[in-house]
Amino acid sequence: MHQLKRISRESIQGALEKAERYRVLNEPAMAESICLDILETDPKNSPAITTLLLAITDQFNTSATGDVSRARELLHHLKSEYEKNYYAGIISEREGLAIFNRRMAGSQYAVYEWLNEAMDYFEKAEAVRPPGNDDAILRWNTCARMIMRYHLEPANEKYVEPPLE
């Protein structure tokens, strides 16, 4: 068994830059590993937490099941209500897009539900956004356009628990 090595506090800024670069290069597993190293040295490092969350969601398209729960576990480490809602929306949106990209029969209903959930989170983020930050609105509009462009709808039938006699 290998023992992981710790990075120094002085290297954290450079490591964050590398993690971002790996995300841009579409190497999210590398970015994830770097963020985990940063968080081992500085567990409350906000940029590393958000980059880790995004690196996990970057992998939703390549994973058969996605790792939504692992991404959502990071939300409680975020500081503001805005960040918690905004990134919860990102997680839902990216899971919806991953399902959409798999093009499985009948998946359009799941895509709609994930995008609709994302839009709910983006609305909550919009309500508490910092002045001049319209990122949540931009994401909400993107989800809405996708729903409209592909005519996505909720499933007609929802399961209703029959009453007990």
Tens place of pLDDT per residue across the chain (165 aa) = 899 999 999 999 999 999 999 999 999 999 999 999 999 999 999 999 999 999 999 999 887 565 899 999 999 999 999 999 999 999 999 999 999 998 888 899 999 999 999 999 999 999 999 999 999 999 999 999 999 999 999 987 555 566 766
Q: What is the chain's Cα-based Rg? A: 18
Domain boundaries, the chain: 1-59, 79-155
Distance CA 49, CA 64 (A): 24
Position 86: which residue type?
A: Y
Report the sign of the C-alpha dihedral through residues 33, 36, 38, 44, in that order.
positive
* DSSP classification of residue 158: -
Contact criterion met (CB below 8 Å) for 129 and 82: yes
Q: Model's pTM, two decimal places?
A: 0.90
CB within 8 A of 44, min separation 6: which ones?
Answer: 77
What string of DSSP letters covers 50-72?
HHHHHHHHHTTTTSSS--HHHHH
22 C-beta neighbours (distance < 10 Å), count: 21
CB burial class (10 A; 0-12, 13-18, 19+) of residue 161? Answer: exposed
At how many degrees (to 10) do helices 12-24 and 46-58 cross? 20
Q: Is 104 helix (H, G, I), strand (E, B) or coil?
A: coil
